[in-house]
Amino acid sequence: MKKRYYDNMRKSQPQLDDLFYGKKSGFSIGLAHHNFGAFYSIYPCIFSFVIEGLYIKFNGEMNTFVILVIFAIPVGICYIPAYKAVFSNDKYLQYFKLFEKEDEHWHKKWKRITTAFILGAIASIIFGVYLCFTILDVKVRFPWM
């Protein structure tokens, strides 16, 4: 019974590895693709929040279509070239080949850079909301203040 179980596990393990870690269409690539889009799209939101704040200040209220346009244009202008540079024509597979050749110190350096990129994205959206509120002269009171 155990022998048959381990034989089946040995046969199915490459399929599971390809499902999760496959370089063309694995779960990890899908997650990286999603996270790249999410975090890279946050940076241009600073401009969107500033434009939104200025629009509200000078024109009063705004409808949903204007909000979508204000967020879509800067995100599209910044995101599309970055997406093309990494994911079009499976260019990321070439990057994999380059990354595999590098040493551990190089990988640690890029882990730090990636962490800084993510934290910068989070800080930029907070800063964008702050700028929007500053433009609109909104005073925010937090419970601990």
Q: What is the pLDDT of residues 89-116, one digit of tens each?
A: 766 677 677 777 778 888 888 889 888 9
Confidence of residue 11 (pLDDT cuts 50, 70, 90): low
By the 10 Å C-beta count (0-12 exposed, 13-18 middle, 19+ buried), 128 is classed as buried
Higher pLDDT, 36 or 12: 36
- At a CB cut-off of 8 Å and minimum separation 6, what does 99 contact? 107
Tens digit of pLDDT for each residue in 48-88? 888 888 888 888 777 888 888 888 888 888 777 777 777 67
Could you tell me the CA-to-CA distances from 50 to 8, 80, 97, 137 in Å, in that order? 58, 21, 40, 13
pTM of the model: 0.65
